[in-house]
Chain A
Amino acid sequence: EAAVTQSPRNKVAVTGGKVTLSCNQTNNHNNMYWYRQDTGHGLRLIHYSYGAGSTEKGDIPDGYKASRPSQENFSLILELATPSQTSVYFCASGAGNYAEQFFGPGTRLTVL
């Protein structure tokens, strides 16, 4: 069974709309991460969390919010989606910064 799952797997949104991407992990890891993947940029960190109730800004947080209501769940929220946020988004969990990160299968988001 996959330890990190994401939903939806594909999403088409309209400019100005609200989008919520969800992530669930069964690894019991404290740390969770949201990345976006774009050609030529690799994986860039948007937000991360050290545990339930905590969220921290990563390298490219503008236009995104995050929520960690429990150990297992970590959401990424786009309040006002823009076409520049069209990308593939990955969630990951890990025991710490020096430890392996376990990635979900990704969500392909298209903002029209």
Chain B
Amino acid sequence: GDSVIQMQGQVTLSENDFLFINCTYSTTGYPTLFWYVQYSGEGPQLLLQVTTANNKGSSRGFEATYDKGTTSFHLQKTSVQEIDSAVYYCAMSWTGGYKVVFGSGTRLLVSP
């Protein structure tokens, strides 16, 4: 069925480290892909969104490229900061679908 998979439950880094969070998707339709970020005590908020294959989305130093060939939408950041500590959700909607499906989330912990 239509789904997104995040295998990493938690990632622990130090400030200025490189961040890579894995996300793969599966759908028979044409997907729109999202990354949402959830800070402690708040609801999720949109970080970035990409609707076209092979296009890159970027926001606040984060980047993700929608790769149709590998059905991936990995999130990257060159140099993380402590304020980036949060839970990151990969999500997808698709043509013919009625909803957005969310991955299980990746908790990022950044130590100073």
Binding site for B on A (CB under 8 A): 4, 33, 35, 40-45, 48, 56, 58-59, 90, 92, 97-98, 100-106
Contact = CB atoms under 8 A, between A and B. Distances in A.
Given A41-B104, A42-B103, A42-B104, A97 B98 contact: yes
Given A42-B105, A43-B102, A97 B43 contact: no
Given A97-B93, A98-B32, A98-B51, A103 B43 contact: yes
7 contacts: A40-B104, A42-B102, A44-B102, A97-B98, A100-B49, A101-B100, A105-B41
Nearest to A92: B43
Interface in B85-112: 89, 93, 97-100, 102-105
Mostly, the A contact residues are: strand
Interface of B: 6, 9, 32, 34, 41-46, 49, 51, 89, 93, 97-100, 102-105
Nearest to B46: A100
Most interface-central of A35, A44, A58, A101 (chain B CB within 10 A): A101
Contacts of A48: 98-99
A33 B32 CA distance: 18
Contacts of B34: 100
Contacts of A4: 43
A43 B46 contact: no
A100 B103 CA distance: 16
Nearest to A6: B43
A97 B44 contact: no
B54 to A, nearest CB: 18
B5 to A, nearest CB: 11
Contacts of B103: 42
A30 to B, nearest CB: 13
A44 B105 CA distance: 12
A43 B42 contact: no
